[in-house]
Structure 1
């Protein structure tokens, strides 16, 4: 069995200002005109890449609540091959993967230009903020192995 790590509840109690800042960043994205379903798909894909079960479960729940089609939830991990995502969704998912996998790479002009074909400058900025925000949450959730809420309910 793995060593005990910091729980989400301990994180929120010990670092309330950090939690509030991350939540505020997410709220700022929510207040934009970006399509909420698109943002949830991006958060799901980045959470898959970063192996964050906590964020994945939270954003699956959020995506279902706002009506993201089940087929898209089922296939977001293989979005390039699925053939069910719009060109705009594909551009957002490609951008999300590029920003989630920055280690040792820069973001090329070609990747930026491809994203800009589907997003205005402000939209791409806010999409990038959403990606940065979920990346930050993922790093905390994965580092401390925050237990997904549904797993807690199942264990009870």
Structure 2
């Protein structure tokens, strides 16, 4: 049961978060890569609502069942490119923060695939999905109800 329904959310809160989503969508980042990041971070955070949403969106975008079902064990599979592996590692590091700075071995490989502008948007993508995960964990939106807009 939802603790806080969509209609209970203060006016402007989701609209402001959607504006950030729009800036990510309009960046030069590949939308499938962004979707993989959102799904993986949601898996790491145990956010059932967001896992359902991003799984469905990736499936709709043509992502394969093999890659979707293997994302939770991406490090042990050959199904992900070097670029994707680099981003997934960075996403996991940024999601599970410690008091230490982000290690250079997690940041530097990004420079082989992305410019600093893209790295800024990757970082924003990761922090944004962490925000959504935390909101959904508190609000307890019901997973399974999300429908992909066509």
- TM-score with structure 1 length normalisation? 0.86
Corresponding residue pairs, total:
146
Q: Is 1:37 matched up with 2:32? A: yes
Which whole-Å deviations, capped at 9, do the CAs of 1:3-47 have from their partners, x for residues lacking one?
Answer: 86223x24xx43231111111111111001211111100000000
Q: 1:129 to 1:4 in 2, by over 3 A?
A: closer
Contact 2:2 2:142 in 1 (8 A): no
Alignment of 1:95-110 (within 5 A): 95-110=90-105
- TM-score with structure 2 length normalisation? 0.89
Structure 2's unaligned 5+ residue stretches are none
Q: Is 1:6 matched up with 2:9? A: no
- The CA deviation at 1:111 is 1.5
Structure 1's unaligned 5+ residue stretches are 152-156
Which whole-Å deviations, capped at 9, do the CAs of 1:117-156 have from their partners, x for residues lacking one?
Answer: 22211111111111111010000011222112438xxxxx
Residue 133 (structure 1) aligns with: 128
Q: After the TM superposition, which segments of 4 or more aligned residues of structure 1 sit over 2 Å from their partners?
A: 103-106
- Cα distance in 1 between the residues matched to 2:62 and 2:10: 33
Residue 44 (structure 2) aligns with: 49
Residue 63 (structure 2) aligns with: 68
Contact 2:2 2:141 in 1 (8 A): no
Q: 1:4 to 1:68 in 2, by over 3 A?
A: closer
